């Protein structure tokens, strides 16, 4: 699972203690009162955050930069990031640390890359140098099969499975019919080994009926993907059209319907597809109407907020909030609490830190890295 490596908690605590207390906000929720600390600002459209073993933060910026934030200071850009297509929704996107990062220094990232045919989603592996100034051994491990014009709906998040293989979400690139073409990576969840090879449990590993890297199809623009560490089930959150944002549980070889079925409408108001259900196509676990424009997804299994155990945390761009989705014992969604609405801007990424705090980045020209913790714990 992404973001579950072993960490140096003492170093992380020392790093956080360097944050000025007057930078914090206190926010009431339906449960605990939380504290919001701004760890850094001045980031240009940050897309993703990860926590390094010593508690520092690795952040991507969509124009094509990776930076490290330590002791409140933002580093110069890390060298070695390939040239990205930073147009529209494209650019440098997700980053994920290998489970053995502390030893191997290996990480993975996704980006929109351009060639003569247009642009498309690509995933890379690399190692971070010991001095943290450059990426070495930068190697493509997945390149979507067909690049096209346009600069929207690339996906793209990475979830690392317990066995170290990678699940990568790829959007339909603004061409909805591609999501139903099993010879096209667009509108898919991709499953590959860490070296880019095809896992033995892929449903189309022989390439006969579909591209061998495809795990599931019928997705529109999944920008959140995560495992639940309790049962290792995989979930996605994805942009629909108007009123069609969805949470899905991608399973091998299944079709999640876009654009044949959807609870959304075209931006013009016109109907899309054949309705909301059809035999052989999967239903979402949840959909939003109106749409919230979801970013990343985390399934909460931390110690800091035990009352949130098993909740889904969904970053939202359009409504500038964090959606906390509560589930019952069967896993069904039964309630939603909307946190921080309009307070911090477009929330792009959300992850759970080793101590159970939350980390978010805001997708703005002057974007921020934020930490959400339990107010009582920090105030003694």
Helix or strand or coil: residue 9? helix
Q: What's the mean pLDDT in 33-55?
A: 97
**What pLDDT was estimated at residue 130?**
97
Average pLDDT of the residues in 201-219: 97
In terms of Cβ atoms closer than 10 Å to its own Cβ (0-12, 13-18, 19+), residue 279 is exposed
Q: Give the pLDDT of residue 1.
A: 42
Q: Is the pLDDT of residue 273 over 80?
A: yes
Mean pLDDT score, 252-265: 98
The answer for residues whose C-beta is within 8 angstroms of residue 14's C-beta and 6 or more apart is: 55
- How confident is the model over 274-293, as a mean pLDDT? 97
Asked if 221 and 227 count as a contact pair (C-beta separation under 8 A), the reply is no
Encode pLDDT of 51-93 as tens digits: 999 999 999 999 999 999 999 999 999 999 999 999 999 999 9
According to the model, what pLDDT value does residue 380 have? 39
Contact criterion met (CB below 8 Å) for 334 and 319: no
Q: How many other β-carbons are positioned within 10 Å of the β-carbon of residue 69?
A: 20
Confidence at 23, pLDDT banded by 50, 70, 90:
low
Q: Considering the chain, what is the average pLDDT of its residues?
A: 93
| CB distance 213 to 239 below 8 Å | no
- For residues 166 and 227, the answer to whether their CB atoms sit within 8 Å is no
Q: What is the pLDDT of residue 8?
A: 46
């Amino acid at each position: 699972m992404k973001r579950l490596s072993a960490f140096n908690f003492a170093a992380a605590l020392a790093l956080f203690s360097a944050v000025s207390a007057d930078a914090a906000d206190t926010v009431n929720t339906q449960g605990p009162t939380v504290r919001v600390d701004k760890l850094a600002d001045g980031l240009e459209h940050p897309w993703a955050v990860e926590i390094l073993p010593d508690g520092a933060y690795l952040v991507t910026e969509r124009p094509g930069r990776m930076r490290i934030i330590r002791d409140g200071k933002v580093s110069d850009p890390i060298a070695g990031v390939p040239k990205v297509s930073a147009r529209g929704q494209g650019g440098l996107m997700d980053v994920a640390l290998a489970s053995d990062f502390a030893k191997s220094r290996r990480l993975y990232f996704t980006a929109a890359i351009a060639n003569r045919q247009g642009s498309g989603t690509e995933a890379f592996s690399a190692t971070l140098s010991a001095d943290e100034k450059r990426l070495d051994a930068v190697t493509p491990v997945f390149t979507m099969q067909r690049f096209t014009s346009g600069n929207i709906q690339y996906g793209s998040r990475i979830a690392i499975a317990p066995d170290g293989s990678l699940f990568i979400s790829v959007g339909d690139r603004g061409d909805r019919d591609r999501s139903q073409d099993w010879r096209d990576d667009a509108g898919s969840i991709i499953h590959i080994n860490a070296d880019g090879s095809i896992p033995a449990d892929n449903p189309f590993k022989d390439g006969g009926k579909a591209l061998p890297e495809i795990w599931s199809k019928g997705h529109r623009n999944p920008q959140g993907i995560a495992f639940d560490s309790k049962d290792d089930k995989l979930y996605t959150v994805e942009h629909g059209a108007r009123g069609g944002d969805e949470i899905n549980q991608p399973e091998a070889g299944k079709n999640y319907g876009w654009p044949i079925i959807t609870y959304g409408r075209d931006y013009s108001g016109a109907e899309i597809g054949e309705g909301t259900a059809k035999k052989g196509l999967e239903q979402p676990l949840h959909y939003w109407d109106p749409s919230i424009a979801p970013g990343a997804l985390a399934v909460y299994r931390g110690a800091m907020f035990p009352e949130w155990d098993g909740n889904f945390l969904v970053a939202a761009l359009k409504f500038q909030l964090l959606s906390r989705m509560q589930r019952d014992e069967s896993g069904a969604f039964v309630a939603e609490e909307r946190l921080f609405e309009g307070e911090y801007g477009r929330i792009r990424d959300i992850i759970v830190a080793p101590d159970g705090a939350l980390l978010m980045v805001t997708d703005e020209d002057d974007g921020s890295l934020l930490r959400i913790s339990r107010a009582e714990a920090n105030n003694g």
